[in-house]
Amino acid sequence: MIPAFLTSVICSLFDRGHSSLYISRHLQQKYAFRITRRGLRSFRQRKTTKRSQVDSKLCVLYKDYISCLYKRQPSTTAREVQSRLKDCFGVCISISTVRRWRAELGWKCKTVRYCQMISKANYQKRLNFSMEMLRNRETFSNVIFTDETSVEMNSSGSVFFYQEGATTDMVPRQAPKPKHAYKVCF
């Protein structure tokens, strides 16, 4: 971290055309502050690169559009929002800005949990079996449970965005997945 009083010194030395090596040695000798040439170059790049400014009135419009996108499709990614903004408004907004606006709007990220897919016909049968086992105080002490090691050949990383205090239909639930996905067993 560069101290605040040295930032103006470094900027003035760069403005005078001095190299990173000269500035690094100058800071070491005069201020006993060590910094690498790479650190100076990244400092200079941060200071010279300007963030693209978005008009505040348009910013409200873009944020409303982003909020509408997430209300319609909660699994929309920041990259998809970026491309939609470019298609609809012709504006290039960085992905980090989209993420920051999404957080300002109150959208939170959650991964969808997966559960075993149960057909509607088996819901009641499973419930009755479970209730009977509870009534009989079954401990399953005479049952050996086994499983084989398997690797599933499908992706299960769905992301879902929701707003704090949203209605229950907006909160991510468990998503069913098939019992027998493509597997490789060992």
pLDDT in tens, 100-126: 888 888 888 877 666 666 778 888 898
Q: Are 95 and 78 a contacting pair, CB within 8 Å?
A: yes
Q: What is the pLDDT of residue 107?
A: 86
- Whether the predicted pLDDT of 165 surpasses 70: no
- Whether the predicted pLDDT of 132 surpasses 90: yes
Q: Taking the complete model, does pTM exceed 0.85, yes or no? A: no
**Backbone dihedral angles phi then psi of residue 114, each to the nearest 5 degrees:** -110, 145
Cα dihedral sign, 38-40-46-48: negative
| Count, residues in the chain | 186
Give residue-wise pLDDT tens across range 1-51.
788 788 888 888 888 888 888 999 999 999 888 988 888 888 888 776 555
Amino acid present at 29:
Q
Tokens of 90: 């012709």
Q: What's the rounded Cα separation, in Å, for the pair 25 and 34?
A: 8
Residue 77: C-alpha distances to residues 20, 119, 163, 172, 177 (Å): 40, 31, 15, 15, 22
Name residues whose C-beta falls within 8 Å of residue 23's C-beta, 6 or more positions apart in sequence: 10, 13, 14, 40
DSSP state of 51: P
Tokens of 184: 């490789």
Name residues whose C-beta falls within 8 Å of residue 45's C-beta, 6 or more positions apart in sequence: none
DSSP state of 142: T
Q: How many CB atoms lie within 10 A of CB 84?
A: 15
3-state secondary structure (DSSP) of residue 75: coil
Task: Give bridge partners of residue 162 from the DSSP assignment.
Answer: 108
Residue 138: C-alpha distances to residues 46, 122, 125, 142 (Å): 66, 21, 17, 10
